[in-house]
Amino acid sequence: MLLTPRVRLKSALLASAVSVCLVAASAPADPLGVGDRLFPYLGNPGYDVASYDLSFTYSGVNSEPLRAVTTIDARTTAALDRINLDFAHGKVDSVQVDGQPAAFAGAGDDLVVTPRSSLPRGSRVRITVRHTSDPVSADDRDGGWVRTADGLAMANQADAAHLVFPCNDHPSDKAMFTVRVTAPNDYTAVAGGLPEGVERVGAATTWTYRTRHPMATELAQVSIGRSTVVHRKGPRALPLRDVVPTKDRELLEPWLKKTPEQISWMETKVGPYPFETYGLLMADASTGFELETQTLSLFEKDLFTEPGYPKWYVESIMVHELSHQWFGDSVSPRSWSDLWLNEGHATWYEALYAQEQAGRTLEARMKVAYSASDRWRAAGGPPALPKAPHPGQKISIFRPNVYDGAALVLYALRQEIGRPAFERLERVWVHDHRDSTASTADFERLAERISGRDLSGFFKAWLYAEKTPAMPGHPDWKPTAPAARAEHKAEPKTAPRPGRTAPRASE
C-alpha cells in the first residue's frame, strides 16, 4: 500500500464488530486468531485453505449488498469440532460443510461453523457459505469494497478481506482463487488472475477469473464498473491488461503504456516478474492510497489526471506498486510485523527508479530519512517492531517507519555488506520465497548466508532499536531531535479517513 501525499502519514480504517445473522450453535463461540502481534484476532488456527471460490451477484447499484456464495476448500491441521472463519460485514443465510447443513454463529469478527460431526486432523473439508457482501462501510470501519463513481473495487489490506467474504484473513495462509461476478450487461468485471470465460444470459453477464499462483486474502481484487480493459504485451509476451473507466481511456494511455518498460526495469534488478499477468486498475474514487492487489494494482485515477504531480513522482509510485508484486505479493509477510519487508522494498525500488529515471538521488532521500528516523521510531516503533494500530485506525500500521524508515535499513545493509552482495540478496530472496510467505528472521538468515557475515548485531540495532544506529560510511549523518509539531504530524490522534481529507498537499 502507498498512502498518497495528502494522507500519506495520516489515514484511518476500521475497527468494529459487525452484525452477522446468527443461528445459535450449541455452546458459546469464541473468536480465535493465529496470534499476530498486531492483529490478534486475524486468521484462525487448525486448517489451511487450499482455494476460495467467490461468487458475487451485483445489482448495478453500489450501495446495495451483493449476493454471494463463498466456497472454501481446506485441509485440517488439527482435529476440529468447530471451524472459525473471519467474516464481519454481511448477512449469512446458510453454511454447509461437505454438503451437509452446519450450525453457525458470530463471535467478534469470526463466523464460527459447527459441522454435524467433528473433523479429524488431516482431512479435506469444503465449506460453503451463502451470504451477502455489503459495500457500504460501517460508520467506524472502512475497507474491503471501495465504492467508485461507476461501481466497485476492492482494498482489503491489512485486515478487511473478511468484510467482503468469509475467509482465513491472514497473509500466512495463501490460497488459489476463482472469482465469478454476475453483473448487468453494461458492466465489466475483472478480478486478479486470468479470465476463464464470459457468459451472457439475458440481461446479466457472468465473468470468471482464476489465479495461477497462491494469493493472500488481503491482495484480492475485484473491479466492477463501466470499464474498458486495455490489453498489451509485456516482456516475453506477458499479457498485460489495464482496467480504466471507459470515458478516460485516451487520457490515461500515456501512463498505461509505461508499464512494459517498468516491468523490464524491475526484472533487471530482481529477476522475472512472478505472476501470469499485470495491470493497473484506475478507480474513479477518492481512496487516498494505492494498493498492490495481486496482478492488478489499484490506483486512484486522480493521481494521473491532476496536473500538480510531477511526472517522475507518478512513475515512481507506479513502480512502488509494481515492485510489491515481488515484495509483498509473491513473497508475502509471515506476520504483519514483517510489513517493513513489503514497504521497505517497495520504497527502495520507487526511490531507485526515481534516481535512474529522474536524477532524484537515493542518497539524498536516505539522508533526509536518516534525519527523521528517530522521530519515526518514536512515533511508530522500530521498523520490525511496529506499534499496534490505534483502535479505529488500523491502517496506521502504514507509518513512515515501514516506508522510508525501512528503506533506510536496506540502504544501511547495502552500505554494510556492499552492493554486489546486496543485489544478490534481493534476487535470491524473491526467487527462494516466491509463492510463499517469509519472515524477518528468514531475511536476516539469507543476508548472513549471502554476505558470509554474522549480521545479528546489525539487524538487532537497525530493525529493533529505539534509536537509529550510525549509518555505515556516512558518519556525518545525524538524526534531528524529535520536534513536537513533527511528532503530531506523523501520528495524528484523530486521523482523517481516506477519501474524506482535504485536497492533496505535498508533505
Taking the least distance from each CB to Zn ion, the nearer of 296 and 346 is 346
Least Å distance, CB 290 to Zn ion, is 8
Alpha carbons within 13 angstroms on the beta-carbon side of residue 505 total 5
Give whichever of 38 and 251 is closer to Zn ion, judged by the CB atom.
Answer: 38
Q: How far is the CB of 324 from Zn ion (least distance, A)?
A: 6
Which of 58/411 has CB closer to Zn ion?
411
Burial 30-49 (b: 16+ CB within 10 A, else e): ebbbbebebbebbbbebbeb
CB of 190 to Zn ion, least distance (A): 21
Instruction: Kindly state the smallest distance separating residue 192's Cβ from Zn ion, in Å.
Output: 17
Residue 79 near residue 120, CB atoms below 8 Å: yes
Quote the CA–CA distance of 8 and 55 in Å, as a whole number.
Answer: 34
**Does 2 participate in binding Zn ion (rule CB under 5 A)?**
yes
By beta-carbon proximity to Zn ion, the closer residue of 1 and 9 is 1
Per CB under 5 A, does 410 bind Zn ion? no
Under the binding rule (CB under 5 A), the answer on residue 103 touching Zn ion is no
Smallest distance from the beta carbon of 213 to Zn ion, in angstroms? 19
CB of 475 to Zn ion, least distance (A): 31
Q: Which three cell numbers stand for residue 476?
A: 556525518
Find the shortest distance in angstroms from Cβ 346 to Zn ion: 4
Q: How far is the CB of 275 from Zn ion (least distance, A)?
A: 17
Please identify, using beta-carbon distances, which residue of 55 and 157 lies nearer to Zn ion: 157
* Helices 440-451 + 419-432 axis angle, to 10: 130
Stretch that binds Zn ion, among 98-106, 249-257, 262-270, 336-344 (CB under 5 A): 336-344
Q: H-helix or E-strand containing 454? A: none
Structural Rg of the chain based on CA atoms: 22
CB 299, min distance to Zn ion, A: 12
CB of 341 to Zn ion, least distance (A): 11
Q: Which three cell numbers mark 351? A: 526511490
CA dihedral 408, 492, 312, 427 (to 10 degrees): 30
Cα separation of 149 and 153, whole Å? 10
Q: Which of 3, 12, 346, 450 binds Zn ion (CB under 5 A)?
A: 346
Choose the stretch contacting Zn ion; rule: CB under 5 A; options: 260-268, 344-352, 485-493, 496-504.
Answer: 344-352
Cα separation, 178 vs 385, in Å, equals 35
Stretch that binds Zn ion, among 38-46, 57-65, 343-351, 459-467 (CB under 5 A): 343-351
Residue pair 346/328 in contact (Cβ under 8 Å)? The answer is yes
Cβ nearer to Zn ion, comparing 49 with 339: 339
| Contacting range for Zn ion; rule: CB under 5 A; set: 221-229, 239-247, 340-348, 380-388 | 340-348
Judged by phi (left if over 0) then psi (alpha if -120 to 50, else beta), residue 444 lies in alpha
Which residue stretch of 149-157, 342-350, 430-438, 491-499 sits at the interface with Zn ion (rule: CB under 5 A)?
A: 342-350
Is 1 or 7 the residue whose CB approaches Zn ion more closely? 1
Using CB under 5 A, which of the segments 87-95, 176-184, 234-242, 338-346 binds Zn ion? Answer: 338-346
Binding residues for Zn ion, total number by CB under 5 A: 4
Cβ–Cβ under 8 Å, residues 156 and 145: no
* Nearest residue (CB) to Zn ion, 182 versus 342: 342
180-209: contacts with Zn ion (CB under 5 A): none
**Helices and strands (DSSP H and E) totals, the chain:** 11, 23
Taking the least distance from each CB to Zn ion, the nearer of 95 and 291 is 291
Reduce the DSSP state of residue 444 to 3 states and report it: helix
- The least distance separating Zn ion from the CB of residue 320, rounded to whole angstroms, comes to 6
Q: Which is nearer to Zn ion, 54 or 146 (CB)?
A: 146
d(CA 15, CA 27): 26
- How would DSSP label each residue in 154-186? EE-TTTTGGGTS-B--STTS-BEEEEEEEEETT
Cα distance between residue 9 and residue 396, in whole Å: 8
**Binding segment for Zn ion among 18-26, 100-108, 339-347, 388-396 (CB under 5 A)?**
339-347
C-alpha cell of 444? 536476516
- The window from 257-265, 335-343, 368-376, 493-501 that contacts Zn ion (CB under 5 A) reads 335-343
* Distance of closest approach, residue 342 Cβ to Zn ion, in angstroms: 6
85/35 Cα distance (integer angstroms): 15
* CA–CA dist 177, 224 (Å, integer): 17
Q: Decide whether 29 or 318 has the Cβ nearer to Zn ion.
A: 318
Look at residues 88, 98, 119, 118 and name the one whose alpha carbon lies nearest to residue 22.
88
Contact set with Zn ion (CB under 5 A): 1-2, 343, 346
